[in-house]
Amino acid sequence: MAHRYRLDPEPAAESMLVRHCSDARFVWNLALEQANSRRPGRGPTPGAAARMRQLAEARRHSWLGEGSSSVQQQALRDFDQALKNWWAGTHRRPRWRKAGRDEGFCVRDVTVVKLNRKWATVFVPKCGPVRFRLSRPLPAEHGMARITLDRAGRWHVSFAAPQPPVVRVEGGAAVGIDRGVATTIATSDGQMLRIPSAPKLQAKLGRLHRRLARQQPGSGRRAKTKAEIGRTHARITDRRNDWIEKTTTALIRDHDVIVLEDLATKNMVRRPHPKPDPDAPGAFLPNGAAAKAGLNRVIQWSCWGRFERRLTDKATASGVTVMFVDPRHSSQTCPACDHVAPENRESQAVFRCVRCGHCAHADTNAATIILARGLRLAPAPGQGAFARVSPTAASAAGTTRRTAA
Would you tell me which residues interact with Zn ion (CB under 5 A)?
334, 336-337, 339, 353, 355-356, 358
DSSP state, residue 321: E
Cβ proximity of 87 and 79 under 8 Å: no
Distance CA(188)–CA(372), nearest Å, equals: 10
- Minimal distance, residue 335 CB to Zn ion, in Å: 8
Calculate the alpha carbon distances from 290 to 129, 166, 286 in Å. 51, 42, 9
Residue 145 in contact with residue 336, Cβ under 8 Å? no
Neighbours of 356 (CB within 10 A): 12
* φ/ψ of residue 166, rounded to 5: -80, 135
Residue with Cβ nearer Zn ion (336 or 396): 336
Q: How far is the CB of 325 from Zn ion (least distance, A)?
A: 20
Report, in Å, the least distance between residue 328 CB and Zn ion. 18
User: 333 or 399, CB closer to Zn ion?
Assistant: 333
Least distance in Å: CB of 379 to Zn ion?
25
Q: Which residues contact 278 (CB under 8 A, 6 or more apart)?
A: none
Of 203 and 341, CB closest to Zn ion: 341
Helix 220-254 vs helix 304-318: crossing angle, to nearest 10: 40
Closest CA to 366 of 194, 174, 179: 179
Is 336 exposed, middle or buried, given 0-12, 13-18 or 19+ CB atoms closer than 10 A? middle
285 or 356: CB nearest Zn ion: 356
To Zn ion, the closest distance from the beta carbon of 186 in angstroms equals 19
C-beta closer to Zn ion: residue 82 or 360: 360
Nearest distance in Å: CB 338, Zn ion: 7
C-beta closer to Zn ion: residue 235 or 358: 358
